Amino acid sequence: MLTIEGIYQNGQLSLSKKVECTQPVKVIVTFLEEQTTLNEEQLEKLVAQLYANDNITFKQAQCLLNHQNWQDTVTILEQQGCQLYYDKEDFEADLETLALLEKNSQ
C-alpha cells in the first residue's frame, strides 16, 4: 500500500510525486476537510478568554501567543480586558529561575 498526497481542483487530481505503474491499479481517494487557522486577532481573543477564565496560566498564554518576553503578553491581555494576576505557580517558577541564575553565576 502506498499513500501519496495530492490536490483535487477543477476536476483534476494532481499527486505530489510521480508513481510508476505498468498496469491499472485500484486507488482510494479521500477528500480531507480544510483545516481552519486562526488569524492573529482571533488567537489573541481566544487566549485572553482562556486566561480570563483560569483555563491557562500566564506562561501558557505567553507560549500560545509565541511571545519571547512577558511584556508583549501583558499588553495583549490588557488590551483584551483581562485582569492580570501573579499566582503561586508564577512565584515558584520565578524562584526556580532565580536559583538557576545564581547557580550559573558561581
pLDDT, tens digit, 9 for 90 and up, residues 38-83: 899 999 999 999 999 989 989 899 999 999 999 999 999 999 999 8
This prediction's pTM: 0.52
Stated as kind and residue range, the H or E segment containing 16 is none
Partner residues linked to 15 by β-bridges: 6
Residue 82 is predicted with a pLDDT of 93
Cα separation, 20 vs 88, in Å, equals 61
Residue 41 is predicted with a pLDDT of 93
Cell of 59: 506562561
Q: Which residues contact 79 (CB under 8 A, 6 or more apart)?
A: 44
